[in-house]
Amino acid sequence: MESAAEELVHRLGNTFACATEGRGHATPGGRPPSEIVVDATEGFVPLWHPGTILKWRFQERSFALAPNAEQSKSVVRELMGECLLRWGTAAPIRFTRDDDLWDFEIVLRNAPDCTPAGCVLASAFFPDGGRHQLTIYPTMFQQSREEQVETMIHEFGHVFGLRHFFANIRETAWPSEVFGTHEPFTIMNYGANSKLTDADLGDLKELYRLAWSGHLASINGTPIRLVHPYSFTGSV
């Protein structure tokens, strides 16, 4: 019989998963929100500073292994565009491509990452000042177009600072905080419950509004810390 924790982990497409958890893929260096679980691994909740622009590039050596590198890049760009379109005005930050001064690379793996429990589709990172990777595995491109888009939406949820719905059950080695009512129907869950909801959009927007305005300094006693990306060159 599955444990209560296992019952919550409906993998994407029943057999697929996201590999981003509390440790992230880490650095070298109103009404209350209802579905958000945020990271608290370092003893604080990291969120992006107002006006943050994340700079990204393709990791060329990883795309060079694809049968058609330019087509693969085009597909990824389209997925990113659709993902950010769906997050809409709830997305707290903007993105721009910069091959020189970058905050994260998009990496295309040339082999699946599978275990008996399932296959990883993608992994991302959480807000901080390091350089990172957003990794996509070939198994992702075997899914339907909608599932590919939803996977990208899920991963960008991590980039915005969100943890998995089940983080306080399955990822307890890396502390998290629940912000408001803990409801399972959210893009940050797996399987049938993993859909972008109006609550996801409204709650993420409200979280950042409150943090940026100074009306929310902590979540359940864990302080919020606003962070700049690696590429930030302005004054604080």
Encode pLDDT of 118-168 as tens digits: 889 999 999 999 999 999 999 999 999 999 999 999 999 999 998 887 877
Residue 17 identity (one-letter amino acid): A
DSSP assignment of 21-46:
-TT-S-----PPPSSEEEE-TTSSEE
Give the C-alpha separation, 103 to 231, whole Å.
6
Q: Residue ranges of the alpha helices (H) in 125-197? A: 145-159, 167-170
Question: pLDDT category, 13, cuts 50, 70, 90?
Answer: very low
Residue with tokens 């608290």: 40
Write out pLDDT tens, residues 75-128: 999 999 999 999 999 999 999 999 999 999 999 999 999 988 788 999 999 999
Give the residue from 236, 224, 208, 234 showing the smallest Cα distance to 87.
208
Query: So what's the pLDDT on residue 38?
Result: 87
Q: Which residues contact 88 (CB under 8 A, 6 or more apart)?
A: 201
Q: Place 180 in a pLDDT band, splitting at 50, 70 and 90.
A: low
User: Greater confidence, 75 or 27?
Assistant: 75
Query: 215 or 188, which is more confident?
Result: 215
**pTM of the full predicted structure?**
0.86
Q: Which pLDDT tens digit goes with each residue over 41-74?
A: 889 999 999 999 999 999 999 999 998 999 999 9
pLDDT at position 1 is 28
> Hey, what amino acid is at 24?
G
By C-alpha distance, which of 97, 131, 106 is closest to 25? Answer: 131
Fold of 8-19+34-227: Collagenase (Catalytic Domain) (3.40.390)
The more confident residue out of 128 and 13 is 128
